[in-house]
């Protein structure tokens, strides 16, 4: 049986991987996306952390938590320009869950999400806003 590295807390485990596809899409157009393979225990932890942002499960759309309409970083109201968080998970194989959230472009994502995306914790707030990757000429 294969031994997988878990994307959430970086340890190795045996058994079936659960899959998560998190993404942050910034107003600048910059996108951070990952395919994360998690052990069952850490998928359960992730589902709990992302719980307020659950938008649809196998049964269809779910009633959004009031928190889902506020910034994931600072919990304040977000006006028209925002960074979007999308995540699809397959916690137990086939059953799919979709998550959605918003952030102020200058706000940091929660630590669990930055960790999952591999976004540098030392990145300054606002990194990526209005800075598309430069093409060398």
Residues that bind Zn ion (CB under 5 A): 6, 39, 42, 71, 73-74, 104, 107
- The count of other CB atoms within 10 Å of the CB of residue 128 is 20
74 vs 132 by CB, closer to Zn ion: 74
Nearer to Zn ion, 37 or 97 (CB): 37
Smaller CB distance to Zn ion: residue 71 or 87? 71
What's the min distance (Å) between Cβ of 131 and Zn ion?
19
What phi, psi does 87 have (nearest 5°)? -150, 135
Q: Which is nearer to Zn ion, 61 or 84 (CB)?
A: 84
Query: In the complex, what is the shortest distance from the CB of residue 79 to Zn ion, in angstroms, rounded to a whole number?
Result: 10
Distance separating alpha carbons of residues 95 and 21, to the nearest angstrom: 14
Q: Minimum Å distance from CB 84 to Zn ion?
A: 13
Query: What dihedral do alpha carbons 39, 42, 43, 46 form, nearest 10°?
Result: -160
CA–CA dist 88, 57 (Å, integer): 10
- The token pair that represents 30 in the structure block: 């910059």
Q: In the bound complex, what is the minimum distance in angstroms from residue 34's beta carbon to Zn ion?
A: 15
Please tell me the distance from the alpha carbon of residue 55 to that of residue 44, in angstroms, as a whole number.
Answer: 17
């Amino acid at each position: 049986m294969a031994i997988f590295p878990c994307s959430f807390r970086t340890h190795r485990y045996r058994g079936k991987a659960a899959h998560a596809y998190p993404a942050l899409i910034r107003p600048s157009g910059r996108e951070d996306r990952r395919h994360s393979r998690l052990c069952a225990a850490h998928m359960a932890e992730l589902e709990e952390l992302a719980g307020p942002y659950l938008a649809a499960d196998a049964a269809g759309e779910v009633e959004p938590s009031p928190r889902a309409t506020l910034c994931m970083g600072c919990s304040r109201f977000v006006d028209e320009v925002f960074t979007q968080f999308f995540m699809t998970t397959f916690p137990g194989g086939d059953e799919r869950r979709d998550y959605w959230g918003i952030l102020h472009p200058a706000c940091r994502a929660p630590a669990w999400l930055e960790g999952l995306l591999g976004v540098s914790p030392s990145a300054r707030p606002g990194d990526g806003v209005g800075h598309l990757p430069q093409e060398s000429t």
